[in-house]
Amino acid sequence: MRYWVVVLFFLTGCKTLGGGEDVPAPQELKADLEERTLQYFLDHAHPKTGMVRDKAENFKSTPDSNRVSSIAATGFGLAVIANASIRGLVTKEYAREYAIKTLRFTRDHVGRYKGWMFHFVDWETGEQRYRSEYSTIDTALFMGGALYAAQVLGDKEVKSLAYQLYNDLDFHDMLTDGGKKPKKKTLSMAYWNDGTGYRTDQWDMYAEQMLLLLLGLGHPSRPLPVDTWLAFDRSLRSLPNGEQVMGFNGALFLHQYSQLFVDFRGFRDGYENYHSNSILMSQWHRELMRREPTHASLAAGFWGFSAGEAPNGTYKVFDASRYEGIVCIGCTAASVMFMPEVMLDMIAWRSGPYADKVWGRYGFTDSVDIGNNWFSPTVLGITLGPEYMALANTNPQTSIWRDFMQVPEIKTALEKASKVVRPLATVPPKGRKPASNFTKTW
């Protein structure tokens, strides 16, 4: 068992930073962030349908005209509110009623194809918005939240609704493109209802699809063949310190999303450990602060190249090899489940010279670009949900992992995946850090 070494700051709850201004202790900031990120889902879940807004204002009121809901954000909302109920942050009855209305509305009104849901919908009607696709990964994130809620709440109706939606998912349709490609081993990313059909992009790279594949491997009625677990790229790239990582050219969020739900610390499948890999990639993103002294945002102590808000209401994706001045500090917060240093950085952001521009009703704003004096005025549900869940995962008593890993279909899927034989030699590179079996509690 490897214990994280945490600096004295964490142990003493130090109250000063830099020039001596008051700053929150780690426990105080953690509790505040959890309450604020939870508040987003209480404020921006439709009162009748449960569908969660894609994004909202962080420093002023969100207009009623903001009607776009994200299926993934709604899934995170199901997980966040269910978790909050076991901690006394909301009542069990509130969480139960929220889960039932959300799952029932999704079943009856959200557009689906072979069980796969639209990426974006109207939060009141469930109709398609932005001409969006039937998305496999966004549906998977929704199902992760639904199955977690069913596991935690222990309610028969919640479980029945969640499993109706789960059973409706036709993984083989996305695997074979409707039967046209019966030998294909990777899932298609999406299906378009505009005549385009199945998206040509495949889940064949190292990315956030592990939860999606596990849901497929464990599907109650028609599981995916086990060799689909082997079908995505796991090639290694060396970092300057000699460590080797998978997914170097991916945004930070792809190292986080599946692991908000799935605890890979003790999992082995012949490849590198996925939890350890996410630690290394989070550390590398943070290391760029030291290696890029002329990058204004990094020099100011902000880091995290991921997917998030950009000027003029746009949305951009960056990674550790391709980036501009924008960093997604909301995305960075979700790496706190991999490395406790993130809490130190968040304390500095909360108390530093830009505090009034980065801290709002729902905690840290989405993104910043210090060089252009730009601070995102909004926050995203797909960023705040992971932030809450990652913070919960730092404590075994509140962990999402603890209950999600007890979902029978996930247990079955992980057992299947662990027994798949890797086609190449499986000798971990020298110096590879072992997975941590310890979670730091603040």
Q: What single DSSP character describes residue 433?
A: P
- What is the arithmetic mean of pLDDT over 93-110? 98
Q: What is the dihedral of CA 403, 406, 412, 416, to 10 degrees?
A: 60
Asked if residue 432 belongs to a domain, the reply is: no
Q: Is residue 430 a part of any domain in this protein?
A: no
What pLDDT, on a 0 to 100 scale, did the predictor assign at position 15?
Answer: 41
Count Cα neighbours of 142 within 13 Å in the Cβ-side half-sphere. Answer: 32
Per residue in 234-271, pLDDT (tens digit) is 999 999 989 999 999 999 999 999 999 999 999 999 89
Q: What is the CATH number of the domain that holds 79?
A: 1.50.10.140
For residue 160, being part of any structural domain is answered with yes
pLDDT at residue 423 in the model:
64
How far from chain centre, in Å, is Cα 219? 21
Contact present, 361 and 58 (Cβ < 8 Å): yes
Helix (H, G, I), strand (E, B) or coil at 368: strand
Query: What's the pLDDT at 22?
Result: 65
- Residue matched to tokens 């076991």: 86
Give me the domain span that covers residue 396: 8-418
Number of domains in the chain: 1
Phi-psi region of 363 (alpha: psi -120 to 50; beta: other; left: phi over 0): left
Instruction: Name which of 314, 335, 334, 339 is nearest 324 in CA terms.
Output: 314
What pLDDT, on the 0 to 100 scale, is given for residue 321? 86
Q: What is the DSSP string of 177-201?
A: TTTT-TT--S-BSEEETTTTEE-S-
- C-beta of residue 70 within 8 angstroms of C-beta of residue 138: yes
For the chain, what percent of residues have pLDDT higher than 90?
85
Residue 441 belongs to a domain: no
Per-residue pLDDT tens over the stretch 112-161: 999 999 999 999 999 999 999 999 999 999 999 999 999 999 999 999 99
Per residue in 31-67, pLDDT (tens digit) is: 999 999 999 999 999 999 999 999 999 999 999 999 9
In a domain, 434, yes or no: no
Report if residue 126 sits inside a domain.
yes
Residue 366 lies in a domain: yes
Structure tokens at 422: 């890797």
Residue 77 covered by a domain: yes
190-227, pLDDT tens digit by residue? 999 999 999 999 999 999 999 999 999 999 999 999 99
Query: In the structure encoding, which two tokens stand for residue 272, read together?
Result: 């590198």
- Position 418: which residue type? S
pLDDT at 429: 45
